[in-house]
Amino acid sequence: MEIAGWKFGLCHGHQIVPWGQIEAMAMMQRQLDADVLISGHTHKFSVDVHEGNLFINPGSATGAYSGMTPDVVPSFVLLDVQEKRLTIYVYELHKSDGAEPFELKVKEIKHSKP
């Protein structure tokens, strides 16, 4: 799909082998002719730039178990899509050492077109 001049590709990620490996994801990104590939399956949040393209794995909103990642941190992302820039807001729920059992952490990551 295309939004504000950005081409987005979306796949679950189980079809990318090895799972989560940047070169394998880059092959899928090229097949989809996408500027941004959003994939998952590993349940682990990540944002990577490779050869000028953006790769986003939003993680697991529920923190569901993954055989690849023993300690899954519940996470999801929101994208603010502008013509020349993407802003990625990452929400992660971490175990806390304080009075509250969990702490919500929010990160902001910016990415511009090359």
Residue-wise pLDDT for 18-49, tens only, equals: 777 788 888 989 999 999 999 988 889 999 99
Whole-model pTM over 0.75: yes
pLDDT for the residue 108: 98
46: nearest Cα among 113, 112, 109, 114 = 109
User: How sure is the predictor about 86, in pLDDT bands with cuts at 50, 70 and 90?
Assistant: very high
CB 43 within 8 A of CB 20: no
Mean pLDDT estimate for the chain: 90
Domains of the chain in start order, with CATH, are 2-112 (3.60.21.10)
- Distance CA(114)–CA(51), nearest Å, equals 10
**Residue 19: what pLDDT?**
75
